[in-house]
Chains A and B, each alone.
Chain A
Amino acid sequence: MSEAVVMEAAPTFEEYVALRGASLWRSAWLLTGDAQRAEDLVQTALAKCWRRWDAIARDGSVDGYVRRVLVTTYTDWRRRKWNGEVPGESSPARGEVAPSADLAVRHDVLVALARLPRGQRAVIVLRFYEDLTEAQTAAALGVSVGTVKSQTARALATLRASELLEGL
């Protein structure tokens, strides 16, 4: 879930990554469904931001900028390697150490998310994991609020129809 960055002065790149890196990775994991792809996505997005960090920090909207770069990098058609993969019936995500009940949730959530087109998946992550408003989600994705509403409705309908998330 998103935690706002509260700093007196504009954060240095190192400060920001230290504070927000893990949160960005969690969102990237929900987008990609894979730990290594999530790391690759976060690093790529942050590397883009690093080159312009002074200007970004001066503007005072670091979170919004970085989030936008992250999701547009994910939805960019040229970066197909970050397409979510549908996990197999017995292929839990790598590197996890968690109670078995959470592993089941994790698997079913990933399978359900993998059924969504990238744009809808990004909307779901931003709206319901990052807890952004429709307007903030629209700004992050560079689309209209109307598109966010329609994509949200379609994504929710798909997730509800999947039955994977019922009873978890």
Chain B
Amino acid sequence: MNEHELADLLRRAVPEAPTVDPAAVRERARRQQRGRAVVAGAVSVIAVIAVVASGAALIRGDQPAPPGRDIAGGPTAAPSLSPYDVTCGDASGRREARDRVTRLDEVVAVRLCLDFDPRRPGLQPPATPDQLAEEANADALVHGLPRFVAAVRKLPGAGDEFCTTAKGPWIQQALVFRRRDGSQELVAAGGCERVTVEGRPVEDGEALTRLYLEHLDRQRERHSYTRMFDDEITCQSAPRGGPVRPGREELVRAIACDLPPGAESIPDALRPTPLGASQLAKLNRAWARPGRPIVRDASGEHPCVDNLPEPPTFLMVATDRSDVLQFVASPCGFLVWHGDDGGVGATLPVDPADLGVG
């Protein structure tokens, strides 16, 4: 079956369409608006003026923004902002990440995107499939923006000690700040680089990103949103995603990868063993009651994870927020999660044999 045959099949399959009545659509939209206004009125006990204001705000907030142009030149309007409504746009429109955010007022969403600016070192298009998948599935910060904006405004100014706090590797990424009117700014924030916020040079891009991830973590803690994982994970997949906490994100898919003796890298032909529903449930139970993380001593090594006689079995796991994690089997009888950028990880009281894959 080629693509033309598929298109023909789709056309043949579609039945006759009914008439769509514009009046019925209008009436539905009016009912929805009235319903929301009633809800707003019911929960507000302060004053009539407050009811009116909240109803108006709800109605305004529910409307999709008018079509605008995003950094990729495509339409940006989202019908309502959920954490997954904010996109980065096509790579070709992201070659001019700036070093400044001109204003923070009326910011309604912030998210991380890949930075394709060719003037910067590192990433150049095409990005790897893992990088693109991470970007496509990332959640944006849409709750608690005033708190985030206030924290950004309090970032230390850039001084003589500029960049001394940057600890992580330099990553070619940028933060997108979207405002209520649909306009947005793309700001390079991948590491030790100057960022100017509302005219004030701040510490560095990494500090800005770290602040963003802290607030995204808070959002994940307080709001129970999810995104169905519809990607593929393989033994070669790289860990990716946002801030994760054991037990908070649910594990929705997992594969076990059993490295052959003596392997020094992951063979392309390594075939994973998918975990079934009962195995996944057992893994989730262990994930929900994590043990202490691995803490290496001054030598930088830990006997449960370093200098192992054989390469360890590991699991690649997807969460209900489309993160991808790696759990490494330790000969000490548990799985080790080394954590995301902002965390210290955990040990999970289960091993591959318990799961029937070791």
A in complex with B: yes
Residues of A within 8 A of B (CB): 1, 13-14, 17-18, 21-26, 29-30, 35, 39, 42-44, 46-52, 55-56, 58-59, 61, 64-65, 68-69, 72-73, 76-78, 93, 95-98, 102, 105-106, 109-110, 117-120, 124-125, 128-129, 131, 135, 138-139, 142-147, 150, 154, 156, 159-160, 165-166, 168
**Residues A35 and B1 in contact in the complex (CB < 8 Å), given A17-B20, A55-B67:** no
User: Looking at chain A's contact residues, is the secondary structure mostly helix, strand, loop, or mixed?
Assistant: helix
B226 at interface (Cβ–Cβ under 8 A)?
yes
Check A105 against B9 for contact (C-beta < 8 Å): yes
Q: Are B29 and A51 in contact (CB under 8 A)?
A: yes
Tell whether, in the assembled complex, residue A72 and residue B12 are in contact, meaning their CB atoms are under 8 Å apart: no
Interface residues on chain B, number (Cβ under 8 Å): 59
Q: How far is the CB of A56 from chain B (nearest CB, A)?
A: 6
| Residues of chain B with a CB closer than 8 A to A51's CB | 29, 33, 62-64
Q: Mark B267-310, 1 if CB is under 8 A from A, else 0.
A: 00000000000000000000000000000000000000000000
A56 and B67 in contact, given A77-B227, A147-B133, A156-B6 (Cβ under 8 angstroms): yes
Question: Which residues of chain A come closer than 8 Å to B126, judged between CB atoms?
Answer: 146
- Tell me whether B7 and A129 are in contact (CB under 8 A): yes
In the complex, whether B87 has a CB less than 8 A from a CB of chain A is: yes
Question: A24: which B residues are within 8 A, CB to CB?
Answer: 20
> Are B10's CB and A109's CB within 8 A?
yes
B102 at the interface (CB under 8 A from A): no
Main secondary structure of the interface of B (DSSP, over half): loop
Given contact pairs A58-B66, A68-B75, A105-B9, a sample of 16 additional A-B residue pairs in the complex whose CB atoms are under 8 Å apart: A17-B22, A18-B22, A26-B14, A30-B13, A43-B25, A51-B33, A52-B65, A65-B67, A93-B15, A106-B12, A109-B9, A110-B13, A117-B230, A125-B10, A145-B91, A150-B133
The answer to whether B75 and A139 touch across the interface, beta carbons within 8 angstroms, is yes
| Contacts A52-B66, A135-B90, A145-B90; A165 near B16 (Cβ below 8 A) | no
Task: Let me know if B84 is at the binding interface, CB within 8 A.
Answer: yes
Instruction: Tell me, yes or no, whether B24 is within 8 Å of chain A by CB.
Output: yes
* Alpha-carbon distance A44/B13, docked complex (angstroms): 24
Which A-chain residue is minimally distant from B65 (CB atoms)? A52
Give the most central of A51, A96, A156: most B CB within 10 Å: A51
> Considering the chains assembled together, what is the distance between the CA atoms of A147 and B25 in angstroms?
33
- Whether, in the assembled complex, B129 has its beta carbon less than 8 Å from a beta carbon of chain A, the answer is yes
The 8 A CB mask of B106-144 against A (1 = contact, 0 = none) is 000000000000000000001101001101100000000
Query: Is B26 located at the chain interface by the 8 A CB criterion?
Result: yes
Is B265 part of the contact surface with A, judged by Cβ < 8 Å?
A: no
Question: Closest residue to A145 on the B side, CB-wise?
Answer: B90
Contact B15 A105 (CB under 8 A): no
CB distance from B83 to the nearest CB of A (A): 10
Of the A-B pairs whose beta carbons lie under 8 Å apart in the complex, a sample of 15, sorted by A's number, is: A22-B19, A26-B14, A35-B18, A56-B66, A59-B67, A64-B75, A72-B79, A77-B225, A95-B15, A102-B12, A128-B3, A128-B6, A139-B74, A146-B129, A159-B1
Cβ-defined partner of A1 (8 Å) among B11, B19, B79: B11
B82 at the interface (CB under 8 A from A): yes
User: Are B228 and A118 neighbours in the complex by a CB distance under 8 Å?
Assistant: yes
